[in-house]
Amino acid sequence: MKTVSFTIDDRKVTAHAGTTILNAASKAGIDIPHLCFDPRVEAIGACRMCVVKVQGARGLVTSCTTTVAEGMKVVTEDHEIALRRKHVLELMLSEHCSTCMGCDKSGACRLQDYAYRYGADQDRFGVVLAQAPMRNFTTLNKGILFAADKCIKCGLCVKYCESVQMAEALTFAWRANRTEVTTPFDEDLHLTSCETCGGCIRVCPVGAMLDKNAVGKGRDSDLTRVKTICPYCGVGCQMDLLVDKQRNRIVRATSTPDAPINGGNLCVKGHFGVDYVSSPERLTHPLIRTADGFRQATWDEAITYVGDRLRAIRDQHGPDALAFVSSARTPNEENYLVQKLARTAGATNNVDNCATSCHAPTVAGLAAAFGSGAMTNSVSEIKDCKVMFLIGANPTAAHPIIGLEMKRALRSGAKLIVCDPRKTWLAKRAHIHIQHRPGSDNMLINAMLRCILDEDLADKQFIASRCEGFDEFEANLEGITVEAAATYCGVDAGLIRAAARLYATGKPSAIYYTLGITEHSCGTDNVKNIANLAMLTGQIGKWASGVNPLRGQNNVQGACDMGAMANKLPGYQDWSDPAVRAKFEKAWGVPLPQNKGSKVPLFIAAAGRGELKALYIVGEDLVATEPNQTQVIEDLGNLELLVCQEIFMSETAKQAHVILPSACWAEKDGTFSASERRMQLIRKAVDPPGEAKPDWEILCLVATAMGYPMHYDHPSQIFDELVSLSPMFGGMSHERIGETGLQWPCPTPDHPGTQFLHEGRFTRGKGRFHAITFQPQKEEPCGEYPLILSTGRTLYNYNCGNMTRKAEVINQRDPGNFVEIHPDTAARYGIAQDEKITVRTRRGTVTGLARVGERVRPDLIWMPFHFIEEPTNNVTIDEFDPVTATAEYKCCAAQIEKL
Amino acid sequence: MNEVITILEHQGTGRDACVKVLQEIQGVFGYLPAEALRYVADHSQITKRQIYGVATFYELFRFKPPGRHQVKVCRGTACHVRGAPQILDAVAEELNLHGSEDTTEDGEFTFEKIACFGACALAPVTVTDGQTHGAMTPDKMRKQLKAILKKARAGKQEDPS
Between the CA of residue A601 and those of A325, A627, A636, A878, A881, what are the distances in Å? 11, 9, 11, 9, 11
The pTM (predicted TM-score) of the whole model is 0.94
Biggest alpha carbon–alpha carbon distance for chain B: 51
Euclidean distance between CA atoms A250 and A894, whole angstroms: 43
Please list every residue in chain B whose beta carbon sits closer than 8 Å to the beta carbon of residue A168: 47-50
The DSSP line for A360-413 is HHHHHHHHHHTS--S-SS-GGGGGG-SEEEEES--HHHHSHHHHHHHHHHHHTT
Biggest alpha carbon–alpha carbon distance for chain A: 89
- The whole-angstrom distance between A170's CA and the closest CA on chain B is 7
- Chain A residue nearest residue B41, CA to CA: A184
- Chain A residue nearest residue B56, CA to CA: A174
- Would the CB atoms of A169 and B50 count as touching at under 8 Å? no
- Would the CB atoms of A184 and B51 count as touching at under 8 Å? yes
Residue B151: per-residue pLDDT:
87
Euclidean distance between CA atoms A88 and A77, whole angstroms: 15
- Chain A residue nearest residue B57, CA to CA: A174
The average pLDDT across B47-64 equals 94
- The whole-angstrom distance between A180's CA and the closest CA on chain B is 10
- Would the CB atoms of A168 and B57 count as touching at under 8 Å? no
Residue A150: per-residue pLDDT:
92
Residue A477: per-residue pLDDT:
96
Pairing of strands A641-646, A351-352: unpaired
Best CATH choice for the domain A3-77 from the list 3.30.70.20, 3.40.50.2000, 3.10.20.740, 1.10.260.40: 3.10.20.740
Please give the CATH superfamily to which domain B69-158 belongs: Glutaredoxin (3.40.30.10)
- Chain B residue nearest residue A173, CA to CA: B53
The average pLDDT across A293-310 equals 97
- Chain B residue nearest residue A178, CA to CA: B57
Residues near A296 by Cβ (< 8 Å), separated by ≥ 6? A285, A286, A287
- Would the CB atoms of B57 and A175 count as touching at under 8 Å? yes
- The whole-angstrom distance between A853's CA and the closest CA on chain B is 13
Let me know: does A334 contact A862? Beta carbons within 8 Å.
no
**Amino acid at the residue A780:** E
Euclidean distance between CA atoms A864 and A515, whole angstroms: 13
CATH number of A366-549: 3.40.228.10
Residue B59: per-residue pLDDT:
86
Euclidean distance between CA atoms A583 and A580, whole angstroms: 5
Residue A128: per-residue pLDDT:
74
Euclidean distance between CA atoms A635 and A101, whole angstroms: 60
- Would the CB atoms of A171 and B53 count as touching at under 8 Å? yes
- Give the pLDDT band of residue B1 (cuts 50, 70, 90): confident
User: Looking at the partner chain, which of A169, A172, A193 has a beta carbon nearest the beta carbon of B53?
Assistant: A172
Question: Does the beta carbon of B78 lie under 8 angstroms from any beta carbon of chain A?
Answer: no
For residue A113, pLDDT over 60 is answered with yes
- Chain A residue nearest residue B54, CA to CA: A173
Euclidean distance between CA atoms A389 and A393, whole angstroms: 10
Residues near A669 by Cβ (< 8 Å), separated by ≥ 6? A331, A681, A682, A683, A684, A714, A715, A716, A734
The average pLDDT across B84-103 equals 91
Give the helix/strand (H/E) hosting A228: strand A224-229
Q: Which of B47, B56, B58 to mutate to test the interface with A (most CBs of A within 10 A)?
A: B56
The average pLDDT across A723-751 equals 96
Q: How many CB atoms lie within 10 A of CB A94?
A: 17
Q: Name the percent of chain A lying above pLDDT 70.
A: 100
Residues paired with residue A742 on neighbouring β-strands, in sequence order: A679
- Would the CB atoms of A185 and B56 count as touching at under 8 Å? no
For residue B160, pLDDT over 80 is answered with no
Q: How many CB atoms lie within 10 A of CB A834?
A: 10
pLDDT tens-digit map of A495-549: 999 999 999 999 999 999 999 999 999 999 999 999 999 999 999 999 999 999 9
Euclidean distance between CA atoms A276 and A664, whole angstroms: 9
Buried b (16+ CB within 10 A) or exposed e, A857-871: bebbbbbbbbbbebb
User: Looking at the partner chain, which of A174, A175, A184 has a beta carbon nearest the beta carbon of B49?
Assistant: A184
Euclidean distance between CA atoms B64 and B74, whole angstroms: 22
Three-state SS across A831-892?
Answer: CCCCCEEEEECCCCEEEEEEEECCCECCCEEEEECCCCCCCHHHCCCCCECCCCCCECCCCE
User: Looking at the partner chain, which of A172, A175, A184 has a beta carbon nearest the beta carbon of B48?
Assistant: A184
Euclidean distance between CA atoms A178 and B134, whole angstroms: 33
- Report how many Cβ contacts below 8 Å link chain A to chain B: 34
Residues paired with residue A146 on neighbouring β-strands, in sequence order: A209
Euclidean distance between CA atoms A407 and A166, whole angstroms: 8
- Chain A residue nearest residue B46, CA to CA: A168
- The whole-angstrom distance between B97's CA and the closest CA on chain A is 20
- Would the CB atoms of B48 and A174 count as touching at under 8 Å? no
Q: Which of residues 10-69 of B touch A (CB under 8 A)?
A: 34, 47-53, 56-57
Residues near A537 by Cβ (< 8 Å), separated by ≥ 6? A452, A457, A458, A459, A462, A503, A504, A509
- Would the CB atoms of A175 and B48 count as touching at under 8 Å? no
Residues near A417 by Cβ (< 8 Å), separated by ≥ 6? A387, A388, A389, A390, A430, A431, A432, A433, A434, A499, A502, A503
Euclidean distance between CA atoms A599 and A640, whole angstroms: 19
For residue A598, pLDDT over 80 is answered with yes
- The whole-angstrom distance between B43's CA and the closest CA on chain A is 12
Euclidean distance between CA atoms A439 and A29, whole angstroms: 55
Buried b (16+ CB within 10 A) or exposed e, A297-328: bebeebbebbbebbbebbeeeebbbbbbbbbb
- Would the CB atoms of A175 and B52 count as touching at under 8 Å? no
- Would the CB atoms of B56 and A174 count as touching at under 8 Å? yes
Euclidean distance between CA atoms B56 and A400, whole angstroms: 32
- The whole-angstrom distance between B39's CA and the closest CA on chain A is 15
Residue A14: per-residue pLDDT:
95
Between the CA of residue A630 and those of A354, A443, A607, what are the distances in Å? 19, 33, 14
> ∠ at Cα A438 (A434, A439), nearest 5°?
115
Let me know: does A8 contact A24? Beta carbons within 8 Å.
yes
Phi-psi label, residue A502: left if phi above 0, alpha if psi -120 to 50, beta otherwise = alpha
- Chain A residue nearest residue B61, CA to CA: A174
- The whole-angstrom distance between A186's CA and the closest CA on chain B is 9
Please list every residue in chain A whose beta carbon sits closer than 8 Å to the beta carbon of residue B35: none
pLDDT tens-digit map of A661-707: 999 999 999 999 999 999 999 999 999 999 999 999 999 999 999 99
CATH number of A287-358+555-743: 3.40.50.740
- Chain B residue nearest residue A194, CA to CA: B49
- Would the CB atoms of A185 and B53 count as touching at under 8 Å? no
Residues near A161 by Cβ (< 8 Å), separated by ≥ 6? A167, A168, A169, A170, A194, A199, A200
Residue B159: per-residue pLDDT:
59
- Chain B residue nearest residue A159, CA to CA: B49
- Would the CB atoms of B48 and A185 count as touching at under 8 Å? yes
- The whole-angstrom distance between B90's CA and the closest CA on chain A is 26
- The whole-angstrom distance between B72's CA and the closest CA on chain A is 22
> ∠ at Cα A365 (A598, A400), nearest 5°?
100
- The whole-angstrom distance between B59's CA and the closest CA on chain A is 9
**CATH domain A787-898 topology:** Barwin-like endoglucanases (2.40.40)
Q: How many residues does chain A have?
A: 899
Nearest residue to A800 (alpha-carbon basis) of A324, A393, A232: A232
- Would the CB atoms of A185 and B52 count as touching at under 8 Å? yes
Nearest residue to A31 (alpha-carbon basis) of A19, A39, A22: A22
- Would the CB atoms of B49 and A169 count as touching at under 8 Å? yes
Residue B158: per-residue pLDDT:
63
- Would the CB atoms of A171 and B57 count as touching at under 8 Å? no
- Give the pLDDT band of residue A127 (cuts 50, 70, 90): confident
Euclidean distance between CA atoms A210 and B103, whole angstroms: 37
- Chain B residue nearest residue A179, CA to CA: B57
Residue A131: per-residue pLDDT:
67
- Would the CB atoms of A174 and B57 count as touching at under 8 Å? yes
In the 8-state DSSP scheme, what is residue A104?
A: T
Question: A129, exposed or middle or buried, with CB in 10 Å at 0-12, 13-18, 19+?
Answer: middle
- The whole-angstrom distance between B88's CA and the closest CA on chain A is 22
Residue B53: per-residue pLDDT:
96
- Would the CB atoms of B51 and A169 count as touching at under 8 Å? no
ipTM of this complex prediction, to 2 decimal places: 0.86
Show me where the domains of chain A are located: 3-77, 287-358+555-743, 366-549, 787-898
Residue A735: per-residue pLDDT:
96
pLDDT tens-digit map of A328-354: 999 999 999 999 999 999 999 999 999
- Would the CB atoms of A168 and B47 count as touching at under 8 Å? yes
Let me know: does A475 contact A346? Beta carbons within 8 Å.
no
Show me where the domains of chain B are located: 2-57, 69-158
Cis peptide before A570 (omega within 30 of 0): no
Task: Determine the 3-state secondary structure of A201 from DSSP.
Answer: helix
**Amino acid at the residue A646:** E
What are the φ/ψ torsions at residue A656 (nearest 5 degrees)?
-75, 160
Euclidean distance between CA atoms A780 and A407, whole angstroms: 36
